[in-house]
Structure 1
Amino acid sequence: MRKLTYFVGTSVDGYIADPDGDGDFFNRWVEPGYAKDMFGEFPETLPTPVRAELGLEGAVARHFDAVLMGRATYEAGLRLGMTSPYAHLDQYVASRSLGASPDPAVQIISGDVAARVRQLKERPGLGIWLCGGAELAGQLVEEIDEFVVKTYPVFAGAGIPMARAGFATRELELTDLKHYAGGQIVSTYARRR
């Protein structure tokens, strides 16, 4: 069965974006060693145009062959003219407000997103990358099998949290931990079921 992995960047205090939804402030902490490791381990998480710019268009997907994002996350790419930001993956956007997809390569999921994710997990293939954001992660928190949390050395103080899931203790097991000279920490947790 495929896994749903929340692969996400966050500040030390758990914010994935500023209050307006912009996460570009994390880019200042992408030093060469960290970037090389992340691009090498997770090349499929780079948008298709960025993969081309970096000469990674032929990089083999190691973890994911599908991406699931919320409407706000998808619209960030749309504002830049990317209707199919991850053309190298099966793309799904969870939205109650988007009607038709602006691109035939992007499927809109409405209604019971958790049920649809369970269906996707039953299909053969690599894992499913939960790309964002907080509302969607909150809706799917019980379906997330793995968390790969890239913590950047910044305290934001406010913004969009990693998830809006409501309080409950959900046990995780630390399965990997890496730290980098630039102060980034990548923690991988598996869900204890």
Structure 2
Amino acid sequence: MRLTLTEFVTLDGVVQGPGMPEEDTSGGFTQGGWSFPYADEDFGRLVTGWFEEADAFLLGRRTYEIFAGHWPRVTDPADPIASRLNSLPKYVASQTLTTAEWANTTILSGDVPARVAELKKRPGREIGISGSAELAQSLLAEGLIDEVRLLVHPVVLGAGKKLFPENGAPLAMRLLRTATTASGIVLQVYEPAGAPEYGAFPAPE
């Protein structure tokens, strides 16, 4: 299976707490819920389409706990996101969780990149990661993520956790496609392209 990453991100690279004010207040973050004003029909179609392509989901512990507190309560079988999240296999990367009550959930502990590499060998289409920035950083560094989907929102926060932190692993990306929504979100879809290349523009004679 391919491993895909979907992230909601601001213009200044913040990925923390997009969904609601109390989603992630770690580090004193007070600007949660910044993606809500931009969630139009175009946005919904993009996200729903990706959920329909997934045969399993991989989440970091914090994102898993947020999802597990919400989606099991959405019981409408016609809901395109809840129906898949509640029924398909879910894997949560954690060194601290010992039990996971959300149906069809398996805890990945120990050498998480190695366990994810094994999951990718199974038959199927995609294992989808949503959010889970710290997990995504480690898997990008290990070369395990096949596609990165950034939904860049037209807002600048000035503070918050970032997907690509300072001193992170250098990585080149190859742009696959782009799209825009009526609310101003820019979709950028990339595939990792190995180490960056460097050069210099010639000096004028």
Q: Deviations over 1:65-94 (max 9, x none)?
A: 111011111111344474996113210100
Secondary structure of 1:14's aligned partner: coil
Measure how far apart 1:15 and its partner are. Answer: 1.1
User: Which structure's CA Rg is the greater one?
Assistant: 2
Could you say which residue in structure 2 is the equivalent of 1:68?
58
CA distance in 2, matches of 1:162, 1:147: 11
Tell me how large the CA RMSD over aligned residues is: 2.4
Counterparts of 1:14 and 1:103, CA distance in 2: 31
> Which string of whole-angstrom CA distances, capped at 9 and with x for unpartnered residues, describes residues 154-180 of structure 1?
111111212558433211110000012
Change (3 A) 1:150 1:144: same
Structure-1 separation of matches of 2:58 and 2:87 = 13
**For 1:100 and 1:134, how far apart are their aligned partners in 2?**
22
2:43 match: 34
Within 2, Cα distance between the matches of 1:139 and 1:166? 13
How many Å apart are 1:10 and its aligned residue? 0.7
Letter in 2 for 1:112: D
**TM-score normalised by structure 2 residue count:** 0.75
Structure 1 residue 104: Cα displacement: 4.2
1:20 is aligned to 2:25:
yes
1:143 alignment partner in structure 2:
144
CA distance in 2, matches of 1:101, 1:183: 37
Decide whether aligned partners of structure 1 residues 165 and 121 sit closer, same or farther in structure 2, where only a CA change above 3 A counts.
Answer: farther
Q: Identity of counterpart residues, as a percentage?
A: 30
Structure 1: segments with no counterpart, 5+ residues: 45-60
CA contact (8 A) 1:16 1:159 kept: yes
- Cα 1:152–1:120 shift into 2, 3 Å: same
Spell out the pairing of 1:154-173 with structure 2 (5 A cutoff): 154-163=155-164, 166-173=167-174
Gaps spanning 5+ residues in structure 2: where? 18-23, 75-81, 195-205
Between Structure 1 and Structure 2, how many residues are aligned?
Answer: 173
2:79 — aligned with what? none
Give me the TM-score of the superposition, normalised by structure 1: 0.79
Q: Describe the shift of the 1:99–1:166 C-alpha distance in structure 2 as closer, same or farther (beyond 3 A).
A: farther
Give the match for residue 52 of structure 1: none
- CA 1:37–1:140: 2 relative to 1, 3 Å: closer
User: Which residue identity does 1:191 align to in structure 2?
Assistant: P
Cα distance change of structure 1 residues 143 and 107 upon mapping to structure 2, 3 Å threshold: same
CA–CA separation in structure 2 for the residues paired with 1:37 and 1:133:
19
